Structure 1
Amino acid sequence: MRQGCLLATLFTIIPTMIFAETFYFSAIPDEDQTALVARFTKVADYLAGELGVDVEFVPVKDYGASVTAFRNDQIQLAWFGGLTGVQARQLVPGAQAIAQGAEDPQFVTYFIAHSSTGLTRQESFPLDAKGMTFTFGSKSSTSGRLMPEYHIRAETGAAPEEFFSRVGFSGDHSQTLRLVASGAWQVGALNYAVYDKAAADALPETETAHVIWQTPPYPDYNWTIRGDVDARFGEGFADRVQEALIGMDDPDLLASFPRQAFIAAKSEDFIPIAETARALGLLE
């Protein structure tokens, strides 16, 4: 009898512990998978401590897979690029951008070139790259494809395939840097933060792959959350997630993004990205 009362008491006190959902999040794979898992597992531990729920990072194979996982409710929060964030919010009614890096409202893309090209850094678009080989990053990358393609078309009056002799997609920013540094591609476009970190770490790739131009600023990376999380994890949960992200002040966690801090964001901040994507036929 006493044992039955004890069990009844336990189920009365901790039903949420028994039946609570795990909060899943992911991120666009803009770097090597191993590095992503290492950096975001630490973020999961941080969020779990701040939110009081189990939090798990879910790695995905490519940019499109991150949007699909968000649409299918396999993840409830994601660190998206500007374009993937727009795509995800379009597919999931009620989803909202809630935070971004302090640097993200003024993000830029670097165009880099192998030293053998003779191209050097300049203020205007490198028209001397005409006829060379060129690689984007991922097909769905804001900084590695969307904005570079926009500026190529705007500055040259031609499609990338018309201006360059050959055009490819590396898959991610780190790979773009490696491929240009090796000479496999003469010119490429990548996230400026990835290149700056490589330069700060004195990686050998930056000895042969040099910045030749940077785009004007645009809004990019963002944390986007599904609109049904309050119903599932408790009233005000989305606000608590936003507060936890903005309150992230551990230098090691922030350096892994890398960002100086996170600030509040809203979906309307990324209207320029949506308009550019529609103009290029990359968004309905």
Structure 2
Amino acid sequence: MSLKTIGLSLGLLVASLTHASAQTLYFSAIPDEDETKLVARFSKVADYLSTTLGVDVKFVPVKSYAASVTAFRNNQIQLAWFGGLTSVQARLAVPGAQTIAQGKEDPTFISYFIANTATGLEKSDDFPEAAKGLSFTFGAKTSTSGRLMPEYWIRKDTGEAPEDFFSKVGFSGDHSQTLRLVASGAYDIGALNYAVYDKALAEHDPDTEKAKVIWQTPPYPDYNWTIRGDVDATFGEGFIQKVQDALVNLHDPEILNAFPREAFIPAKNADFDPVEETGKTLGLIE
């Protein structure tokens, strides 16, 4: 084989690899649970989307909520399973981005306030005023269900900032860790995603014996799938609609149970206007 032929072959190989890379849809998710659980869940989602869409789809784990927004802004990922707040942050950073689907349960999501049983606090329909002076942990700093809405209701119902109402305030980083910290007694009380707690309860996680639900917030819109608006230019006209259809038509119970969601339904940007308004009120969105 001549050097010219070898050079031509290498050139075609590089072009082929470049084209293949351009046709890979990368997606991620906020790290709201242990990474091992997320990888197991989203690897199956990647396989489903790849088969349904006819393109290579890869899941890219990230280390923080902020990192998921940064990756979306920098086009390192084109699709993401965001919380309500992170989806708004991502859309504001990427003009043209669209929220396309959410869990059937997500328009009326809630947060649980859980307390270590040693506090003696009992479940109530009213905000737990008796929690004043105890220690408290949120989840991640930009979590909708682990920080944004719990803080909103703390301020609304007590008239005080969390730092003034509680003796100590921390951030666990994710919902699973919030459950562990409250169960261990590291914090008296915590706020977390109700679905994570209910799943732990169904799996007989021993932490649920030491950390009990004492209050739940009123409902609000939360998790969703958001996609960059420029993917049609990469994958072809109508690709955003194809992704939305693929998600809405996902009926595999094993995948859905891992979220856990009954199904995915169509969603749009305006559905999360209340989250954006609350984020601006609390200074989490400029």
- State the TM-score, normalized to the length of structure 1: 0.94
CA change 1:264–1:127 in 2 (3 A) is same
- Is 1:201 the counterpart of 2:203? The answer is yes
Per-residue displacement from partner, 1:98-122 (whole Å, max 9, x unpaired)? Answer: 0000000000000000000000100
In structure 1, distance between residues paired with 2:73 and 2:275: 20
Partner Cα distance (1:158, 1:236) in 2? 48
Among 103, 114, 138, the alignment partner of 1:136 is: 138
- CA-CA distance at 1:16 after TM superposition: 8.2
2:114 aligned residue:
112
Q: 1:151-197, CA deviations, whole angstroms, 9 ceiling, x for partnerless residues?
A: 00000000000000000000000000000001110000000000000
| Corresponding position of 2:44 | 42
Partner of 1:264: 266
**Inter-partner Cα distance in structure 1 for 2:285 and 2:101:** 22
Correspondence for 2:159: 157
Letter of the 1:71 counterpart: R
Q: Aligned partner of 2:127: which letter? A: F
**Aligned residues: CA RMSD:** 1.6
| Structure 2 partner of 1:56 | 58
- Give 5+ residue unaligned stretches, structure 1: none
3-state SS of paired residue (2:88): helix
User: Counterparts of 1:170 and 1:17 in 2: how far apart (Å)?
Assistant: 41
Deviation for aligned residue 1:18: 7.3
Q: 1:168 and 1:260, CA in 2 relative to 1: closer, same or farther beyond 3 A?
A: same
For 1:129, the aligned partner's letter is A
Aligned to 2:81: 79
Q: How many Å separate the matches in 2 of 1:73 and 1:18?
A: 16
The residue type equivalent to 1:47 in the other structure is: L
Shift of 1:17: 8.8
Separation in structure 2 between the aligned mates of residue 229 and residue 282 of structure 1, nearest angstrom: 28
What fraction of aligned residue pairs are identical, expressed as a percent?
A: 70
Cα shift at 1:19: 1.6
- 2:226 is aligned to 224
Give 1:81 shift.
Answer: 0.1
**CA drift at 1:34:** 1.1
Q: Amino acid of the residue matched to residue 270 of structure 1?
A: F
- 2:190 aligns to what SS in structure 1? strand
Give the Cα separation in 2 of the matches to 1:238 and 1:106: 25
Summarize deviations over 1:232-278 as a string: whole Å, max 9, x none.
00110000000000010000000111100000000000000000010
C-alpha distance 16-265 of structure 1, shift in aligned 2 (>3 A): farther
Q: Secondary structure of the residue that 1:135 maps to in structure 2?
A: strand
Bigger mean CA deviation after superposition, 222-231 or 16-25: 16-25
What CA distance in whole angstroms lies between the structure 1 residues aligned with 2:203 and 2:257?
12
How many residues were matched structurally? Answer: 274
Partner of 1:122: 124
Corresponding letter in the other structure for 2:103: G
Stretches of 4+ aligned residues off by more than 3 angstroms: 15-18
2: CA distance between counterparts of 1:156 and 1:206? Answer: 27
Structure 2: 5+ residue runs without aligned partners?
none
**1:174 and 2:176 correspond:** yes
- Cα distance in structure 2, aligned partners of 1:89 and 1:106: 21
| Cα distance in 2 between the residues matched to 1:67 and 1:18 | 25
Matches of 1:199 and 1:83, distance apart in 2:
26
- For residues 206-217 of structure 1, the aligned pairs below 5 Å read 206-217=208-219
Q: Would you say 1:19 and 2:24 are equivalent positions?
A: no
Instruction: Give the 3-state SS of the residue equivalent to 1:212 in structure 2.
Output: strand
SS where residue 274 of structure 1 aligns? helix
Match of 1:100 in 2: 102
Residue type at the aligned position of 2:101: A
Partners of 2:250 and 2:126 lie apart in 1 by: 37
SS in 2 for 1:185: coil
